[in-house]
Amino acid sequence: MKTDKNTVWIVGNRSDAIEIAKNKNLRVVLLYNKKLKNHQADVLEQISFMWNKQEWESFVEDLLQKEPKPIAVLAPTEKSVLPAAWINGILKTKFSISIPTAIACTHKPTMKKIVKKASIPCANFLENEEGDNKISKQELIEKLGLPMAFKTCTGSGSRGAYIAKTEEEGPKFLKKGYMAERFVEGTECSIEAIVQNGEVLFQNITEYTEPKFANLVPATFSSEIQYKIFEFNKKIIAALGAKNGITHTEVFIQNLEQNDAEKINLVFGEMALRPPGGYIMELLKLSYQKDFWQIWLDTFLGNTINMKNTQVHFYSGLRLFHPQAGTLKSIKGKEFVKSIQELEEFTLSVKEGATINQREGTGQSVGHIVIKGKDKQKIKSLLEEVKQKFLFEME
């Protein structure tokens, strides 16, 4: 079957991915599990992310009766990585993510087993994927110690994740679909990498100045520490088999306070094989003055990507807002935020009197700011100053 070089299939609804494809005059067939009244795609086809291989084969066969074979099948969201790999395997597209790699980059226990086998430092863990493994609280403590972290075996962000610091905070048994791992002490950061044909073309370190709330791009670490982190990330990418796209790897840095590349230790957290969330794509664009959504698309279209002369033009910072649960009595500091010269973006979706629900994950917020400037320390300080001066009073 002849490939239509002007058609792409996008699995999962992410507006930036659809927009960049449309801007390049590509026909977009959106595959999603819900009906959408408003979307930018040319065609919307309903799917289930839970389909097996046979169901995907049947779906693709039927869709090819209506639509031409695409040049690429794209996965911009965590849930879409494995389905896109199934489809790519059926269509045999040239630039894609293989099924083993998709599983390795979406199923955390599999991911960590592969990384450990490659002798990459990683926290010890126990899993209860199917619900048959009755792992008791006592066994968890004996094998992992306290504190320990609990998270779902699949999925992105921190939704459903929590830390048990004491025996009382731990569950009687490890919940179905969850894994528990030894808590890792250290400074968390993420590394975003551009990969094409298995070659790492570019890497950035995002500094989590306040985990779950504030990020800085690029990180302010020394060049020696950054180099060590970049080399560590290359080993992870190779172990998990990522060949094309953008990877987003979370790593813990131990002994960072010594500011010595020889004395720090690096511990692997997780890796995703799709564009990062949390406004990181926007921060990358501001800092490097390049469209990283276009670059992501190019990795799957086979277009030449030149990142050799990529330089830092600005330091970009993000702070997310989400107060404690309750009724919002007042908001203080709006005028201060609006007066920041480095301000790029300021959003707020709530007013006084609104009911604020408990935050369940990093993807949940009631607003944010984005700032950028030439002085990295000033941007870093502003992120903290906003925290001190932009305040929510709750009832």
- Secondary structure of 61-109 in HEC code, one letter for each residue: HHHCCCCCEEEEEECCCCCCHHHHHHHHHHHCCCCCCCHHHHHHCCCHH
Cβ atoms of 163 and 149 within 8 Å: the answer is yes
According to the model, what pLDDT value does residue 90 have?
A: 95
Cα 322 from Cα 157, distance rounded (Å): 15
Q: Using the predicted structure, report yes or no on whether residue 130 has a pLDDT greater than 80.
A: no
Cα 231 from Cα 266, distance rounded (Å): 11
Do 148 and 195 belong together in one domain?
Answer: no
Domain assignment present for residue 108? The answer is no
Domain assignment present for residue 73? The answer is yes
CATH of the domain at 169: 3.30.1490
According to the model, what pLDDT value does residue 217 have?
A: 98
Q: What is the mean pLDDT of residues 325-346?
A: 97
Cα 341 from Cα 81, distance rounded (Å): 39
Name the β-bridge partners of 270.
250
Domain assignment present for residue 200? The answer is yes
Cα 313 from Cα 318, distance rounded (Å): 17
How many domains, the chain? Answer: 4
Check whether the bond before 218 is cis (ω within 30° of 0): yes
CATH of the domain at 291: 3.30.470.20
Cα 39 from Cα 44, distance rounded (Å): 8
**1 band by pLDDT with thresholds 50, 70 and 90:** low
Cα 37 from Cα 48, distance rounded (Å): 18
Domain assignment present for residue 88? The answer is yes
Task: Tell me the residue ranges of DSSP E strands in the chain.
Answer: 3-11, 27-32, 43-46, 69-74, 125-128, 148-152, 162-164, 178-182, 187-196, 199-210, 214-217, 245-254, 265-272, 315-321, 326-332, 343-348, 355-356, 367-373, 391-394
Do 146 and 204 belong together in one domain?
Answer: no
Cβ atoms of 179 and 128 within 8 Å: the answer is yes
pLDDT tens readout for residues 221-248: 999 999 999 999 999 999 999 999 999 9
Range of the domain at 210: 187-313
Name the β-bridge partners of 376.
none
pLDDT tens readout for residues 192-203: 999 999 999 999
CATH of the domain at 21: 3.40.50.20
Domain assignment present for residue 62? The answer is yes
Q: What are phi and psi of 133, to 5 degrees?
A: -90, 100
Domain assignment present for residue 103? The answer is no
According to the model, what pLDDT value does residue 270 have?
A: 96
Residue among 357, 298, 290 nearest 323 (CA)? 357
> Rounded to two decimals, what is the model's pTM?
0.95
Cα 352 from Cα 334, distance rounded (Å): 13
Q: Using the predicted structure, report yes or no on whether residue 2 has a pLDDT greater than 80.
A: no
Domain assignment present for residue 337? The answer is yes
Domain assignment present for residue 258? The answer is yes
Residue among 291, 312, 287 nearest 303 (CA)? 291
Do 320 and 331 belong together in one domain?
Answer: yes
